[in-house]
Structure 1
Amino acid sequence: MIFLFFCLISSFTTERLTFNNEAEWVPSIVVDDASKIHIAYRYPDQIRYITDKTGSWVIDSIMVSASLVSIAVTPAGTPHLAFEASDGDDEIYYATKVGAAWDIDTITNNAISSRCPSIALTPDSIPHIIYYDFEGGLSLRHADKEIGTWSTEVIPGTSIATYSSIAIDNNGGVHVAVVCGTYGGNREIVYANDTSGSWVSTGVTGDALDDDFPSIAVDNNGYAHISYEKDDGADWELWYAENTTGSFVAQQLTNNVGMQDGGYSSIAIDGNGDAHIAYHEDHLVGDLIYLTNRSGSWETDTIFASFSNKTYSWVDRNICIDKLGFVHACFCNQLGGSGSQELYHAVRDEAVGIESPSFYASSDEQCIYLQWSVNLDDACLNSVITRKSHFENGNFIEVARIPHSSSSPTPKTYSYRDKDVNPGMRYYYKLGIMD
């Protein structure tokens, strides 16, 4: 009898995108329906955009004297950016690429600073932007181009607002998470949406602790999922809240004494409603960490180990999931403790949007028989089987690549017989869904 053990393991592959010996900052990432990557970031005091849409990485410069930026993209790959720039006061700008040129609109133009924009698109690609300004004492504002020109409004129930994040559901409903209140036990995450036709807001946390840096995503059923950090009086920890039961349920995800976890977290939701979160361990000192609950419990992986260097990402959308189910992240890493911070892209080696709910194995004297099923099958994908034996210390070696036969919304079963095995040997297998 042949003994065997199988497992599904994945990790992130990183790619350095810039080599400027300058300070890249606060990147934001999205992918289009063709799984092409679009990233906006600050370099060092201008907004830049980089994409692999043409098959190689191409960089555009958009505006100088700018800082925080957020990006969204249409299914066909047209980028839409919201960013903060200074003309003496901080103003909010919007940019989209029309042909080879950038079309730039001014959203605010006053003597009052406006900051920290976040952008999302409706299913018909209409941009919506939220930001806060100092008019009336830190109000959260919403701007959209639904009627062809920009209109703005204050979102009620969001006074003393600062950091915020926006998401739009499949019906075009706008969902917002924002920090409201002052430091000292009064900063709370507030959630607001306009799905009923008018704005409704509610507190998410409501305790005597300080909350900060929310990131919001919406699942296919229109429920909100929010990651954020909380000061428990001794340390900052990462928290997660969702309202799939009709009201928000929050849970603490980290508990590292003496560390400030959860800084600048970002959340994405896959097609099954599972959460995927990227966050900084010990704020900007430690590693960039990935968390997901897709197995039914929270699992962790390291996106990038910064060691003694600093790794920078931004709360607004530094993680996303493409149409094939692969998780992408972006960040800037400080090289060698110097002032140089370069831009990186990371992708997880295992697809999450296309689930493999079963992976079975049996054996006899001649072979090992593997069988698995795939939800939401896609004919452009492959099931990749890798293997190593109990006595091998090296990497897993690919032994089979099975093309998927059709695109189907229902589960489909695949199998493979591994005949290149020896009796009495224990084998380890990994299953990956790849394009």
Structure 2
Amino acid sequence: MKKYLFLLILWPVFFSGCPSDSSDSDEVELEFTTEIIFSRGDYNAVGLTFDGLATDSDNNVHIVHESDNLELLYTTNASGEWHTIVIEVAGIEVGKYSSIAVDTQDNLHIAYFANTHYEPLGEDELLTGNLKYATNSSGTWQTFTLATGTGMTPRLCLDGSDNVHIVHSKLGASDLYSILDINYTTNITGTWETTAIKSGTVKGTDASIAVDTNGKIHISCRNEEGTGTSAEGGMGGLRYITNVSGQWTWQDVDTVKTAGHDDDIVIDSGGKIHICYLDKNAGLKYATNLSGSWETVLLDGTQNVGWNTSLKADSNNHVHISYSDPGTVLNPPGNGYLKYITNETGSWDITIVDTENAGYSTGLTVCGDNHVHIAYYVFEAAVVRGELKYATKPTLASP
């Protein structure tokens, strides 16, 4: 039974389809190559990855992903060939929503969620678990529990001194006041500390994090203010949070209630913020303060498109986004495509990277030589086979 449950748990309780809309983007052909890099065959699922891709100083690829055998998996081509190991097996489910970063010494840092139990919430159940962290900085893989009762959809980034910064959300029904608090965990003082950002007031899901050259934190999330404190529940929309002023402040960038899902954030070399996200009633959206104030644009209004976004900027500050047009898990179903969009030509250009049961989850990075790398999950429902797949291409900025 767990083989079938694996596909069902890909999508949080707030997941639903999105109607179609128009888009000013042009469909273009770009030179992606794709390959399956890890599979266990029929009736096995591996490869579920969210923001789980990074490259090192030699442009080797490092990917963390989840299996239906309750494992945190790690796949790399650092030896010249693709190789996969198991980092941890534990709990009800481990490795969910894993996020990876590479430090200045090419050590790896991974944040992930371990689902430990379910708590009753009315007639339903709400999963609860812990924020976990893995690193090979000692020369061997070590795993740690950083915070209990929290850690949902963690995103990890490193500052210029290789300090770790993680944003995550709290689940569990034991304290409805703190449910969906945005929590921030860091080791910048030398010990791990977790704090809630304005508990009871600032709430969110799908939070993403970036750190600027001054060590200040920038967070995007779907605004769930009101959850646990009002009958109406979350307000919705895209919210931006920062401690640039020395204390936590926030702005509502897109107040459309259906906006803010599956967002990702990046800071370019000029210190400007870029955020991509899904508006369920519109499609893939993009927000930036490049002009000095927040502006939003619809990038891809195709029906059911814009889930599982992953965003990076290249050396010319062009934006690259991978995202999914998911297949049969949606109602109505999408196409099962992995899609990619960039503005490197001066206009927004869309590529359909893979049309074979692809795009259920994605992670993208742009490495030092300005090649785009995408890791993504492909699923064949007829034989319940999930696989880790990889796509790459050079950017216009590549040497």
Same fold (TM over 0.5): yes
Contact map agreement 2:276 2:311 (CA 8 A) in 1: yes
Is contact 1:137-1:159 (8 Å) kept? no
Identical residues among aligned pairs (%): 26
Counterpart CA distance in 1 for 2:203 and 2:348 is: 33
Q: Which whole-Å deviations, capped at 9, do the CAs of 1:92-131 have from their partners, x for residues lacking one?
A: 001101355212221113xx35411110011121111111
Cα 1:99–1:52 change in 2 (3 A) is farther
Q: CA deviation at 1:167?
A: 1.4
Q: Matches of 1:341 and 1:75 in 2, distance apart?
A: 33
Q: Residue type of the partner of 1:11?
A: E
Q: Per the alignment, in what secondary structure is the counterpart of residue 221 of structure 1?
A: coil
Counterparts of 2:325 and 2:233, CA distance in 1: 23
Residue 145 (structure 2) aligned to one of 106, 109, 112? 106
- 1:171–1:160: structure 2 CA closer, same or farther, 3 Å change rule? closer
Contact 1:12 1:302 (8 Å CA) reproduced = no
Gaps of 5+ in 1: 1-7, 355-432
- Structure 1 runs (4+) deviating above 6 angstroms are 182-185
1:211 paired residue number: 260
Superimposed CA distance per residue, residues 235-263 of structure 1 (whole angstroms, 9 cap, x where no aligned partner): x411000011222100001223xx21111
Q: Would the aligned equivalents of 1:118 and 1:130 in 2 still touch at CA under 8 Å?
A: yes
Which residue of 2 is the match for residue 139 of structure 1? 181
What's the counterpart of residue 430 of structure 1? none
CA drift at 1:32? 1.3
Q: Distance in 2 between matches of 1:76 and 1:53?
A: 14
CA deviation digits over 1:78-101, x for unaligned, max 9? 110000013334100011013552
Is contact 1:34-1:76 (8 Å) kept? no
Equivalent residue for 1:150? 192
Go from structure 1 to structure 2 and tell me whether the alpha carbon gap of 1:311 and 1:289 turns closer, same or farther (over 3 Å shift).
closer
- In the superposition, the TM-score normalised over structure 1's length comes to 0.72
Which position in structure 2 is the counterpart of 1:43?
A: 67
Change (3 A) 1:197 1:102: same
2:238 is paired with a residue whose SS is strand
| Structure 1 letter corresponding to 2:349 | E
Distance 1:207 1:312 in 2: 25
Is 1:166–1:176's contact at 8 Å kept on the other side of the alignment? Answer: yes
TM-score (norm 2): 0.78
SS in 1 for 2:136: strand
Residue 23 of structure 1 pairs with residue 67 of structure 2: no
What does the per-residue CA deviation read over 1:29-76, in whole Å, with 9 as the maximum and x for residues that have no partner?
111121110100001221111111222222221222312211111133
Letter in 2 for 1:43: S
Cα deviation digits, residues 395-430 of structure 1 (max 9, x gap) = xxxxxxxxxxxxxxxxxxxxxxxxxxxxxxxxxxxx
* Higher Cα radius of gyration: 1
Shift of 1:281: 2.1
Are 1:68 and 2:116 counterparts?
A: no
The alignment of Structure 1 onto Structure 2 pairs a total of residues equal to: 335
For residues 303 and 170 of structure 1, the distance between their equivalents in structure 2, rounded to whole angstroms, comes to 33
CA contact (8 A) 1:26 1:69 kept: no
Distance 1:208 1:59, change over 3 A: closer
Q: What is aligned with 1:280?
A: 324
Q: What letter corresponds to residue 190 of structure 2 in structure 1? A: G
Aligned residue for 1:143, secondary structure, equals strand
Q: CA deviation at 1:133?
A: 0.6
- Secondary structure, counterpart of 1:101 in structure 2: coil
More RCO (CA 8 Å, sep 6+): 2
